[in-house]
Chain A
Amino acid sequence: MVSFSAVAKRYPGGQEALRGVSFSLEPGELAFVTGRSGAGKSTLLKLIPAIERPSSGSVIVNGQNVGALNRAAIPYLRRNLGLVFQDQKLLYDRSVHDNVMLPLAFSSHTPKEAARRARAALDKVGLLAREKANPVQLSGGEQQRLAIARAVVNRPAVLIADEPTANLDAESAARIVEIFVAFNQVGVTVLIATHDQALVARYGKRVLTLSQGRLA
């Protein structure tokens, strides 16, 4: 599903964020990426949807070499991935429902079917009752769940989340991880980056530990 081999990433300016990273995620697997702040977790995740390109090595997603993809092909790669960002990237000029509708603009669904899918996604994260609200009115945990609903509305095969529990209390954080676990149970491949070792320990799933850009 997702496979890294000997991946290095050096940002312009010299900082080497990843070195010799190799691993492979099987379809239907759920794994955590952990490590201290600055270890390279976000960088690793960004290589998958080609937000960043590897400096060397190869990143294969769904059989495609993402690092070699040309610009025009990237949107189609991203449509098959569900991305949850550290800063959520919600749009505050529209309702909760319309935020979830965004990815459906490129789907071939009728407007009615698109709206139905948006509501189904909101239901899965427990936000259907707030669909008419503006995202600013939501709590931190609710905003994170909205970001997840937007990521899954097109039913991607792979779900990637960067620090989805940062700044959340333990209870909200647990609820977020439960949602990812539930998606994983219906076959979605999930990769979650977090610096919260205690949270990771609770689930007994596969853990990729990064330290100064290297996998332990």
Chain B
Amino acid sequence: MSAWLRQHRQAFGAALRRLARAAGIMSALVIGVALSLPAGSYALLESLRALTARLTLEPQISVFLPLEARRADAEALGAKLRADRRIGAVRFVSREEALKELKQVAGISEVIAAIGRNPLPDAFVVSASAERVEALAADLGRLPGVAHVQADALWAQRLAALQGIGRVGLGLLAALLGAALVAVTFNTIRLQILTQRDEIEVSKLIGATDAFIRRPFCYFGLLQGLAGGVVALGIVAAVLALLNRELRPLAQSYGASFSFAFPPPADALAIVLLAGVLGWLGARLSVNRHLREIEPA
């Protein structure tokens, strides 16, 4: 093994031993808790994004006929809809079918039985490309024989806008806590340099280069950041598991299957690596700032 590699291995080993002490573990935990906020927010936003992507992929417009409409009226409207080139698929949902679907939702069938008649109108469900949905919905609302038009894309657009705000907030949070990570590491390394003043001074006197002296501190910053990143992911996984356990009955009652997903492996890895790089940066800044103050005399 080359001398260069051995020096790196020794510096790495020294950093690892230092991190394994109580103080090192505590600061890795602090960093982990801080990072779990942006990492967790990221996981939540990504889950919501996946959900809205599913919803807005095929924006749908429901076109309801009046309750008293006859089947012939429906067929006439259907022909008009199929003739419209802006519309993709057209699906007719008769009031009977709609009732059957509704009855499957728990608790509703008693309500319907109490009403004693079918409260649902005939309807068409049509699909269109996302950017035309609003104009198309307005046009369809003006067609004769149409009672009401509902564009599913509208609330999805509002959700997307909210997500945009969420993403900006997440960016700010991540930047803030990333800076905190750098600052925490900076200070940890400053204290380490103070306690190792004698060793650093002697090392300089016997011919250690700045790079040699810097190395264990930079490795420490890197390892502490990586450890903090792993802790953050652990916290996120635990919180998501808790949320999903609470969410499952709720989602089922809406007939939906939705759960918050842990970030995919590539994203999780990126979070850990970023934390490591920030830790290294904090260490490097601290070493550059404080090593020059220790000059042998």
Contact = CB atoms under 8 A, between A and B. Distances in A.
Interface residues of B, number: 19
Interface stretch (B137-145, B150-158, B194-202, B277-285): B194-202
A79 B212 CA distance: 13
Interface stretch (A100-108, A170-178, A195-203): A100-108
Given A105-B7, A105-B10, A107-B3, A75 B209 contact: yes
B297 interface: yes
A91 B212 contact: no
Interface of A: 46, 49, 51-52, 72, 75-79, 83, 85, 89, 91, 93, 102-103, 105-109, 111, 150
A106 B297 contact: no
B205 A49 contact: yes
Nearest to B3: A108
B198 A91 contact: yes
Given A51-B297, A111-B6, A89 B208 contact: no
Nearest to B4: A108
B2 to A, nearest CB: 8
Nearest to A90: B202
B6 A76 contact: no
Nearest to B198: A91
Give me the 10 closest cross-chain CB pairs, A-B, nearest first: A79-B207, A78-B207, A108-B3, A75-B207, A103-B206, A75-B209, A89-B202, A51-B296, A91-B199, A106-B207
Contact of A102 (B7, B206, B210): B206
Contacts of A77: 207
Contact of B205 (A72, A85, A106, A109): A85
B47 interface: no
B203 interface: yes
Contacts of B209: 72, 75, 106
Contacts of A49: 205
Contacts of A46: 297
